[in-house]
C-alpha cells in the first residue's frame, strides 16, 4: 500500500518559480471556533502544492478564504506582491483563482459545451453561437485527451466524467491558480489518470495547483510540495522528495499508519445471506455468500455492477434470475422495506443524496430507522429518542454540539458516522457499506474500520464496496472482483497481489497503471 511514487515519477525539478500568492498570518475565527490559526505560506507559480489534513483541519476554510467565498478574520494575502482583498468570489476569479470542487457544481441539465462556456457565452448580435461553442468545446476536450462528446447533456455523463468537464472548464478561463478539492473521490483510475495528465500540463504552463486529497499515493504521484494542516494549524511544509507518507500521516493525526487499517479476524459463523446465480440490471450470474463475522469486499471500477448487485439484494431493483437466501431460506426482497425487515442495512454511496436528511437534526437522523421501535402505536417516547441519540453520539464519537444540531453543520467524516451509526441501534445482521470512506480523513477512517470490527464481534456480516483497493484489500476476508457486470475472481484475505486484482478488474489497457493504485 505504501507508494513508491518517488522512484516511478522522478520529482520534477522545481522551477525557480516566482511567488504568486503569499499568505501572512492568515486567520479565520467563527463564533466559538478558531478554524484557521495564523498561517504563513507562499505558493509559487508552476508548482503543484498538496494540502493534506483530517476533516475539520482547516483545509476547506483555507480554500474558502482563497476563493473569496468567506472574508478572513485577520492577516494578509498578497497576489503577485500586491495586497489583495479577496472579498468576493468574483474578485478571486478576476485574478485568475479558480476551484474545482469535490461535488460537481455545474448545471446538469445543460450540455457539456454550454457548461464550459457558462457566463462567457459566444454570441453574435445577441444570438448564441451554439454550434461554434460545441465545436470549440470539443476541440478543448479532445486537446486535453478526454474521450467525451461536447454536445451531450452534462447529467448524462458519470460523476467522474462531469468532474473532468469541471476541470476542463476551469482551465479555459485564464486560470493562474487552480484549487482541486478531492477531485478523484468519484473518479475511476482511468479518469484519474486523465485528470493527472491535465494537471501536469497546467503546471507546465506555469499554473499554480493546490491539490487537496486524502489519498496519499496521489499526493506523492503529483505534488512538488505538501503542507499539512491539523486542527487549524499549519504543521509544516515539505518537499515531496524529502518526506514519506508515514511522516505525513504522523503529522496529520499524531498516530502511526498501522493503526488505520484495524483488522480483526473472527471465525466465520453461519451464512447470513447467499446469492445464487443472481442476475439483474447491470450484473449477471453472481453467486456469493456472506457469513456472520466476515467482511466480504466487492472491488471493481465504478459501473462494474457492484452497486447494482447490492441494491438488488437490498430490494431496490428486481432481480431477473437467480435466488436470494436469507439464513438458508429463499426470500423475495421486493423493497427496501422487506430488506430492512429481514435485517439488512445499507449505508449508501452518496451521503448527501442518499444518506442524510441534512436540514434535520443529528438525533433525528440517528433515530430515523428505529422510530417504529421507540414509539408505541401513537406516540414517540421522547426519553428513548433522547437516550438513543446521545448513546450513538457518544459511541461513535460524533463531534456535534448537541443532538439537536443540524446534520448539515457537521464535517463530512462526522456525517458519514451518522450514515453508518444510525444502523447500529437498529440491530441489523447484514451491513452493506457502499464506498464508506469517500472524502473521509484518515482518523475518521480508522474509527469507521474499528466500527466494522465491533459489528463483526456481535455476529454481523459486512459487504464492503470500495473503489479504493487498499481499503478492501486490508479489510476483506473474502474479496470478489467485478468487471462489466460479472464476478470475475474471488480471493481470500491477502491471497492475491494488488497488481493481480487490478488486472482482473480492468483486464484491458494495463500500460497506464504504472504500478500505482
Which residue ranges make up the site for another protein (CB under 8 A)? Answer: 336-337, 340, 346, 348, 353-361, 363-364, 367-369, 371-372, 375, 378-380, 382-383, 385-386, 402-406, 422
Residue 422 CB, nearest approach to another protein (Å)? 7
Rounded Cα distance, 487 and 505, in Å = 10
> In terms of CB distance, is 59 or 351 closer to another protein?
351
Rounded Cα distance, 90 and 80, in Å = 18
Residue 333 CB, nearest approach to another protein (Å)? 13
Please name the residues in contact with 141: beta carbons below 8 A apart, sequence gap of 6 or more. Answer: 112, 148, 150, 165, 168
Residue 229 CB, nearest approach to another protein (Å)? 27
Residue 494 CB, nearest approach to another protein (Å)? 32
> In terms of CB distance, is 63 or 389 closer to another protein?
389
Strands, DSSP E only, in 194-318?
Answer: 208-212, 225-230, 233-239, 271-280, 283-291, 295-299
> In terms of CB distance, is 150 or 346 closer to another protein?
346
Residue 406 CB, nearest approach to another protein (Å)? 8
Q: Helices 412-421 and 442-457 sit at what angle, rounded to 10 degrees?
A: 10
> For residue 146, which of 166, 136, 131, 161 has the smallest C-alpha distance?
161
Q: Where are the alpha helices (DSSP H) in 26-86?
A: 59-66
> For residue 310, which of 185, 459, 481, 463 has the smallest C-alpha distance?
463
The answer to whether the beta carbons of residues 50 and 405 sit under 8 Å apart is: no
Residue 331 CB, nearest approach to another protein (Å)? 16
HSE of 320, CA atoms in CB hemisphere, 13 A: 10
> In terms of CB distance, is 215 or 386 closer to another protein?
386
> For residue 371, which of 130, 176, 360, 21 has the smallest C-alpha distance?
360
> In terms of CB distance, is 255 or 337 closer to another protein?
337
Q: Please say whether the dihedral angle defined by the alpha carbons of residues 401, 405, 407 and 409, taken in this order, is positive or negative.
A: negative
Residue 344 CB, nearest approach to another protein (Å)? 10
Q: Kind of pairing, strands 283-291 and 271-280?
A: antiparallel
Residue 339 CB, nearest approach to another protein (Å)? 8
Residue 222 CB, nearest approach to another protein (Å)? 34
Please name the residues in contact with 414: beta carbons below 8 A apart, sequence gap of 6 or more. Answer: 55, 398, 399, 400, 444
> For residue 434, which of 494, 351, 340 has the smallest C-alpha distance?
351
> In terms of CB distance, is 323 or 350 closer to another protein?
350
> In terms of CB distance, is 183 or 363 closer to another protein?
363
> In terms of CB distance, is 153 or 409 closer to another protein?
409
> In terms of CB distance, is 188 or 392 closer to another protein?
392
> For residue 433, which of 447, 442, 444, 423 has the smallest C-alpha distance?
423
Burial of 80 from C-beta contacts in 10 A (0-12 / 13-18 / 19+): middle
Amino acid at each position: 500500500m505504501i507508494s513508491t511514487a518517488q522512484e516511478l515519477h522522478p520529482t520534477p525539478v522545481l522551477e525557480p518559480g516566482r511567488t504568486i500568492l503569499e499568505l501572512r498570518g492568515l486567520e479565520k475565527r467563527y463564533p466559538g471556533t478558531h478554524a484557521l490559526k495564523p498561517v504563513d505560506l507562499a505558493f509559487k507559480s508552476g508548482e503543484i502544492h498538496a494540502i493534506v489534513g483530517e476533516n475539520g483541519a482547516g483545509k476547506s476554510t483555507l480554500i474558502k478564504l482563497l476563493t473569496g467565498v468567506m472574508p478572513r478574520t485577520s492577516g494578509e494575502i498578497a497576489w503577485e506582491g500586491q495586497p489583495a482583498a479577496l472579498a468576493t468570489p468574483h474578485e478571486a476569479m478576476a485574478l485568475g483563482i479558480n476551484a474545482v470542487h469535490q461535488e460537481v457544481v455545474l448545471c446538469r441539465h445543460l450540455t457539456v459545451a454550454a457548461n464550459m462556456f457558462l457566463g462567457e457565452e459566444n454570441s453574435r448580435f445577441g444570438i448564441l453561437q451554439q454550434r461554434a461553442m460545441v465545436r470549440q468545446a470539443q476541440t478543448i476536450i479532445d486537446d486535453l485527451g478526454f474521450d467525451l462528446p461536447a454536445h451531450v447533456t452534462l447529467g448524462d455523463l458519470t460523476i467522474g466524467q462531469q468532474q473532468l468537464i469541471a476541470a476542463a472548464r476551469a482551465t479555459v478561463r485564464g486560470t493562474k491558480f487552480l484549487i482541486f478539492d478531492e477531485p478523484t473521490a468519484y473518479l475511476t483510475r482511468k479518469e484519474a489518470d486523465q485528470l493527472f495528465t491535465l494537471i501536469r500540463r497546467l503546471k507546465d504552463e506555469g499554473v499554480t495547483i493546490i491539490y487537496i486529497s486524502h489519498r496519499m499515493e496521489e499526493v506523492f504521484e503529483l505534488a512538488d510540495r505538501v503542507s499539512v494542516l491539523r486542527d487549524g494549524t499549519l504543521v509544516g511544509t515539505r518537499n515531496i522528495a524529502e518526506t514519506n507518507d508515514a511522516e505525513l500521516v504522523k503529522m496529520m493525526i499524531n498516530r502511526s499508519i498501522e493503526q488505520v487499517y484495524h483488522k480483526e479476524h473472527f471465525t466465520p459463523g453461519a451464512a447470513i445471506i447467499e446469492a445464487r446465480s443472481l442476475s439483474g440490471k447491470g450484473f449477471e450470474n453472481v453467486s456469493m455468500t456472506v457469513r456472520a463475522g466476515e467482511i466480504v469486499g466487492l472491488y471493481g471500477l465504478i459501473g462494474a455492477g457492484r452497486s447494482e448487485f447490492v441494491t438488488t439484494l437490498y430490494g431496490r431493483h428486481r432481480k431477473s434470475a437467480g435466488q436470494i437466501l436469507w439464513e438458508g431460506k429463499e426470500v423475495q426482497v421486493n423493497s427496501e422495506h422487506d430488506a430492512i425487515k429481514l435485517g439488512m442495512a445499507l449505508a449508501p454511496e452518496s451521503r448527501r443524496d442518499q444518506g442524510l436528511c441534512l436540514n434535520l437534526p443529528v438525533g433525528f437522523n440517528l433515530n430515523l430507522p428505529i422510530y417504529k421501535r421507540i414509539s408505541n402505536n401513537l406516540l414517540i417516547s421522547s426519553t428513548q429518542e433522547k437516550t438513543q441519540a446521545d448513546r450513538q453520539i457518544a459511541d461513535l464519537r460524533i463531534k456535534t454540539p448537541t443532538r439537536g444540531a443540524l446534520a448539515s453543520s457537521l464535517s463530512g467524516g462526522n456525517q458519514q458516522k451518522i450514515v453508518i451509526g444510525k444502523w447500529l441501534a437498529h440491530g441489523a445482521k447484514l451491513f452493506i457499506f457502499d464506498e464508506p470512506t469517500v472524502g473521509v480523513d484518515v482518523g475518521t477512517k480508522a474509527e469507521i474500520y474499528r466500527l466494522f470490527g465491533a459489528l463483526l464481534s456481535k455476529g454481523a456480516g459486512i459487504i464492503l464496496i470500495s473503489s479504493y483497493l487498499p481499503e478492501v484489500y486490508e479489510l476483506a476476508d473474502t474479496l470478489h472482483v467485478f468487471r462489466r457486470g460479472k464476478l470475475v475472481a474471488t480471493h481470500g484475505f491477502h491471497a492475491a497481489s494488488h497488481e493481480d486484482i487490478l488486472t482482473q478488474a480492468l483486464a484491458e489497457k494495463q500500460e497506464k497503471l504504472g504500478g500505482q493504485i
